[in-house]
C-alpha cells in the first residue's frame, strides 16, 4: 500500500536559443547524475558525490532557511565541496590558518581566513575567497580556553556564553551585564584585545524529551508513567492515567526537573488525563523499549482481539502479551471504569499511565490490574483514541504523510519488480515525448519495508538528466514537474530492498 510520499520539484531550465535535439535511443545509458543547471548547483567536477540526504532534511531546509528545493539541494552539494577544499587548505596553511565559513543562500562561497597574506593566491586558486586577518585560529582557541579555565570560579550568571567567531577574528562573550563580563575577562588573564563583549539576554537551559513509558512525579511525591506525546494547538504534552493526578497538579520528569501541569483528568468512570509540558520538555513520538532504545509511534489504529501488544512503564519496563477483550468494565476500590481493554500483560504500581502499543500503533494508557511481573497478571488500558477525542488532542507521530491511496487516477499505469540496487525505466523500458509545455506527474507504489525512489528524467540532446525526484526513506513516492516540450522517462530505483511495484504517470 502507498504509505509515504515525498515531492521534490525542479524548475525547468530556461534556454535562450531553441534547437532541435536528437531523439534519445532506448539503449542510451543513464548517467545517474543530476544536471547542475537543473538544480542550481555551482558544484562541478567528479570529486563531489551527491549523497542522498536523510528523510525530511530538504523539506526542513526549505521551511527553516527559506530556500527552494533546488537551492536546498545546491546548498548541500556546495557544502560537501567546501568541506573537502577547507580540509586541504587547512593542512597547507598550518599555523597561519584562522578559520573558514561559507556564505550565500546556497553556500556558494567558501571563505578561508589566514594570517599569511602570501597564501591568498593559493586560496583563490582552490576556488575559495581569502581573508587576511590578525589572529590565527590557534591563538583564538587559546584565548577561549583561558575563559574556560576561569569559568569555574569567575563566570557570573549574567555571562553564560562565549565562543570563537572566526568571521570577526575574535572571541565573543555574551552577557546581560557588560561590567560583570569585563571583570570575568580580566580575571581570566586573556588578552583583552582578542575578546569582544556583546549585550545579550540569552539564558540557555537544558532541554528534555517526553517519552512514553518514562517516569514522572506528581506534586513531588507519587510516581506514574507517560503514555503518549500529544499536542493541542501549539501546546505540547502527554496523556496518562486519570488516577495519577488532578487538574492543576504539577509534574516533574524522570530527572525531577519541573515538567508540566495536569490540564484535565477523569477517574473513575474513565481513567485518563493529559499534562501540558513546559518549554524545557519536547514531546517525542517514542515509547521506551526497556533496553535503551525507542519504538517510534506512527499512528493509533486499534489492534484486533488476539493481537500482540506491549506495555512500557517506569517500574517494570517493557512487557508484552495479547489483547484479550475490548469494551471491558473493571471495578476498583475507587469505582468502576468502563470501556477499557483487557490484556494478559503484567504491570506493577508506578506503571500506571504508561504506553500500550501494538507494532507502531498506539493503543492506550495503563489503568490497573492484578498480579505482577514475577508471577504474571492481567492489566487493563484506557484506549488512547478516546482520550484524544475527548480532549481535542493530536497524537505526536513520526508520520505527516498522507494516508494510503495507491497510484490511481493516472493516465497510464505500469508494473514491474526490482532487486536491491537495480533500476527500471517506464514507460515499458522506453520514454515518451511531450509536444507541449505542461505538468508531468508520477506515482510509485512499492512494497512494504523497502526504500524505492522515483526520478523523472529529460533528454538534453546527449544524455538523460534528473529534473524531479521523490526520494523519501519509504517505498512510495510522487513527483510533479512543470516542463517544456521534449523527451521524458521515469527511473524507478530500488535504493534498498526488493519486490514488485506499480507506477502511474500523467503527461501534458
Q: 244: Cβ–Cβ under 8 A, 6 or more apart, which residues?
A: 218, 222, 224, 265, 273, 352, 353
Spot the catalytic one: 243, 319, 440, 493.
Answer: 243
**What is the pLDDT at residue 55?**
57
416, 424 in Cβ contact below 8 A? yes
Give catalytic status of residue 352 as yes or no: yes
Give mean pLDDT, residues 489-497: 91
Spot the catalytic one: 271, 445, 451, 453.
Answer: 271
480, 441 in Cβ contact below 8 A? yes
pLDDT band at residue 54 using 50, 70 and 90 as cut-offs: low
Q: What's the helix, strand, coil split of the chain in %, to 5?
A: 20, 40, 40
> Comparing C-alpha atoms, which of 347, 343, 278, 280 is closest to residue 318?
347
pLDDT tens digits, one per residue of 454-468: 999 999 988 999 888
Tell whether the model's pLDDT for residue 288 goes beyond 80.
yes
- What global pTM score does this model have? 0.56
Highest mean pLDDT (candidates 348-357, 414-423, 456-465): 348-357
Tell whether the model's pLDDT for residue 483 goes beyond 70.
yes
Determine the straight-line distance between the first and last CA of the chain, rounded to whole angstroms: 27
Give mean pLDDT, residues 468-472: 84
Give mean pLDDT, residues 59-86: 87
Give catalytic status of residue 449 as yes or no: no
Positive or negative: CA dihedral 72, 77, 80, 85: negative
* DSSP codes joined into one string, 84-109: HHHHHHHHHHGGGEEEEEEESTT--E
SS3 category, 333: coil
**438-445 vs 464-470, strand pairing mode:** unpaired
**What is the pLDDT at residue 21?**
41
Give mean pLDDT, residues 394-415: 69
Tell whether the model's pLDDT for residue 424 goes beyond 50.
yes
pLDDT band at residue 185 using 50, 70 and 90 as cut-offs: very high
Spot the catalytic one: 298, 300, 312, 352.
Answer: 352
**What is the pLDDT at residue 112?**
97
Mean pLDDT taken over the chain: 85
The owner of cell 510509485 is 444
Lowest mean pLDDT among 109-123, 135-149, 366-380, 389-403: 389-403
- Distance separating alpha carbons of residues 204 and 161, to the nearest angstrom: 9
pLDDT band at residue 51 using 50, 70 and 90 as cut-offs: low
Amino acid at each position: 500500500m502507498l504509505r509515504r510520499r515525498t515531492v521534490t520539484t525542479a524548475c525547468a531550465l530556461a534556454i535562450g536559443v531553441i534547437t532541435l535535439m536528437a531523439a534519445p535511443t532506448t539503449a542510451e545509458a543513464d548517467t545517474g547524475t543530476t544536471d547542475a543547471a537543473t538544480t542550481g548547483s555551482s558544484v562541478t567536477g567528479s570529486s563531489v558525490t551527491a549523497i542522498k540526504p536523510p528523510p525530511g532534511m530538504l523539506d526542513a531546509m526549505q521551511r527553516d532557511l527559506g530556500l527552494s528545493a533546488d537551492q536546498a539541494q545546491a546548498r548541500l552539494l556546495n557544502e560537501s565541496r567546501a568541506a573537502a577544499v577547507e580540509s586541504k587548505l587547512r593542512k597547507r596553511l598550518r599555523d597561519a590558518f584562522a578559520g573558514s565559513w561559507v556564505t550565500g543562500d546556497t553556500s556558494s562561497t567558501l571563505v578561508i581566513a589566514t594570517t599569511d597574506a602570501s597564501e591568498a593566491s593559493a586560496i583563490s586558486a582552490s576556488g575559495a575567497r581569502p581573508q587576511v586577518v590578525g589572529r590565527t585560529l590557534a591563538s583564538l582557541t587559546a584565548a577561549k580556553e583561558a575563559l574556560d579555565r576561569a569559568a569555574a570560579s569567575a563566570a557570573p550568571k549574567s555571562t553564560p556564553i562565549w565562543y570563537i567567531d572566526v568571521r570577526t577574528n575574535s572571541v565573543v562573550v555574551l552577557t546581560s551585564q557588560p561590567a560583570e563580563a569585563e571583570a570575568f575577562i580580566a580575571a581570566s588573564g586573556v588578552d583583552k584585545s582578542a575578546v569582544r563583549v556583546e549585550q545579550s539576554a540569552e539564558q540557555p537551559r537544558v532541554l528534555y524529551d517526553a517519552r512514553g513509558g518514562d517516569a514522572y512525579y506528581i506534586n513531588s511525591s507519587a510516581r506514574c508513567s507517560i503514555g503518549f506525546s500529544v499536542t493541542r494547538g501549539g501546546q505540547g504534552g502527554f496523556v496518562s492515567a486519570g488516577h495519577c493526578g488532578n487538574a492543576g497538579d504539577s509534574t516533574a520528569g524522570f530527572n525531577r526537573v519541573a515538567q508540566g501541569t495536569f490540564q484535565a483528568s477523569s477517574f473513575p468512570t474513565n481513567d485518563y488525563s493529559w499534562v501540558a509540558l513546559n518549554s524545557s520538555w519536547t514531546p517525542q513520538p517514542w515509547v521506551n523499549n526497556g533496553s535503551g532504545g525507542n519504538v517510534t509511534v506512527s499512528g493509533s489504529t486499534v489492534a484486533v482481539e488476539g493481537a500482540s501488544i506491549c506495555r512500557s512503564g517506569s517500574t517494570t519496563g517493557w512487557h508484552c502479551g495479547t489483547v484479550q477483550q475490548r469494551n471491558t468494565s473493571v471495578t476498583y476500590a475507587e469505582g468502576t471504569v468502563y470501556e477499557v481493554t483487557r490484556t494478559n500483560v503484567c504491570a506493577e504500581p508506578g506503571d500506571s499511565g504508561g504506553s500500550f502499543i501494538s507494532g507502531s500503533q498506539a493503543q492506550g494508557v495503563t489503568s490497573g490490574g492484578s498480579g505482577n511481573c514475577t508471577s504474571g497478571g492481567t492489566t487493563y488500558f484506557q484506549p488512547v483514541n478516546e482520550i484524544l477525542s475527548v480532549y481535542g488532542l493530536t497524537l505526536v507521530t513520526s508520520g505527516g504523510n498522507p494516508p494510503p491511496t495507491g497510484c490511481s487516477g493516472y493516465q497510464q499505469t505500469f508494473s514491474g519488480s526490482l532487486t536491491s540496487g537495480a533500476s527500471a525505466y517506464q514507460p515499458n523500458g522506453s520514454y515518451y515525448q511531450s509536444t507541449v509545455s505542461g505538468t508531468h506527474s508520477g506515482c510509485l507504489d512499492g512494497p512494504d519495508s523497502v526504500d524505492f525512489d522515483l526520478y523523472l528524467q529529460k533528454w538534453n540532446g546527449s544524455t538523460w538528466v534528473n529534473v524531479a525526484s521523490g526520494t523519501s526513506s519509504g517505498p512510495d513516492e510522487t513527483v510533479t514537474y512543470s516542463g517544456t516540450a521534449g523527451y521524458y522517462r521515469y527511473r524507478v530505483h530500488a535504493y534498498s530492498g526488493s519486490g514488485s511495484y506499480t507506477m502511474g504517470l500523467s503527461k501534458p
